[in-house]
Homo-oligomer: A and B are copies of this chain.
Amino acid sequence: MVIVMAVDATDEDITAVVNVVSSAGGRAFVSRGLNRTIIGLVGDVDLFDSLNLVALPGVADVMRISAPYKLVSREHHPERSTVRVGGVSIGPETVTLIAGPCAVETPAQTLEAALMARAAGATLLRGGAYKPRTSPYAFQGLGVDGLRILADVRDKTGLPIVTEVVDAADVPVVAEYADMLQVGTRNMQNFPLLQAVGDARRPVMLKRGMSATIEEWLMAAEYIAQRGNLEIVLCERGIRTFETSTRNTLDIAAVPVAQRLSHLPVIVDPSHSGGRRDLVLPLARAAIAAGADGIIVDVHPHPETALCDGPQALVDEDVPRLAEAVSVMAAAVGRPVTGVPALAVS
């Protein structure tokens, strides 16, 4: 941390800052300039945060110069991580395709969507049984019934399941069925939920909050990691801006930025970013080209009757185009598309 003193700070002010830091066990280094003095701190940043140094007389500003997250940071873990979900890898060596319906509606619809996903080259199945919806009058998901449908479709297709959990109290039941727990954009700072998935023995996909900075996103991941669960995949899904022609603005630079700051894998959701079927393939290509470790895509056998987010789902005729887009782009960045796990094949 660096403390910038005000132009009119007195020697007493400077001494007082040094004393507060010292008495808290830290070390302070004073640099006097012609107009201002700055004080560098060495020690426990969290402790310094709690000292509320900015409130001391003569202090103009306090600047943090190291990342506030530790476990998910690449500083002490330079190698990028690979997360395994039911035998399927998500990490720097490959490009993983996750696909499925936004919401689980019926067994038939879910199975059809899963077969579309598999035909497109997906090795993980997404699908929501608990849906966070802006309106209390909208379809809220099938709950446990939806989880059972997903498990059944997993048995039939061999695709491990990624599904959302929206309440800390539901984590045990969702973890019983799911291979990977998804924390959605509206819950990125639902801290009890983060702690609960941190306690679960399941990998977690953490979507970026729609107005979260990359630093806040990594802090949310730190909440999960701090409970002992480092099997976390970050998912960029678009941020909220003034632009209205797309549902959200895909922050494509978040992929290389987050990968540089954190060792965790980073994937992209081109469906929810744009909110439009016609943008899914261009955004999917861009994501892989930017270095994403995977993408997660909505597919639906009958989007015109979908209970959730139909306008953005890919349809049957898009499946071969998605498969081609993923394989061509993965080849262009020199990474194979993640295959079916050996165990599942046997």
Which residues of chain A have a CB within 8 Å of any CB of chain B? 2, 4, 7, 27, 29-36, 38, 40-42, 46, 49-52, 54-56, 60-61, 63, 65-66, 68-69, 75, 132-140, 166-170, 186-187, 189-193, 210-211, 213-216, 219, 222-223, 226, 239-246, 249-257, 260, 273-274, 278-279, 282-283, 285-291, 303-307, 310-311, 328-329, 331-333
Contact = CB atoms under 8 A, between A and B. Distances in A.
B166 A213 contact: no
Nearest 6 A/B pairs, CB to CB = A211-B211, A289-B289, A332-B332, A33-B42, A52-B310, A167-B192
A290 to B, nearest CB: 4
Residue of A42, A239, A245 with highest tally of chain B CB at under 10 A: A245
Given A243-B251, A253-B279, 4 more contacts: A54-B311, A61-B65, A134-B216, A136-B222
A253 B246 contact: yes
- Looking at A61, A211, A214, A303, the one whose CB has the most chain B CB atoms below 10 A away is A211
Given A2-B38, A287-B286, A304-B56, A245 B257 contact: yes
Contacts of A332: 285, 289, 328-329, 331-332
A134 B222 CA distance: 10
A75 B35 CA distance: 12
A104 B61 CA distance: 26
Given A192-B166, A249-B249, A42 B50 contact: no
Contacts of A189: 132, 134, 186
A76 to B, nearest CB: 10
A207 B310 CA distance: 31
Contacts of A52: 303-306, 310-311
A143 to B, nearest CB: 12
A249 B49 CA distance: 23
Contact of A257 (B29, B187, B240, B279): B279
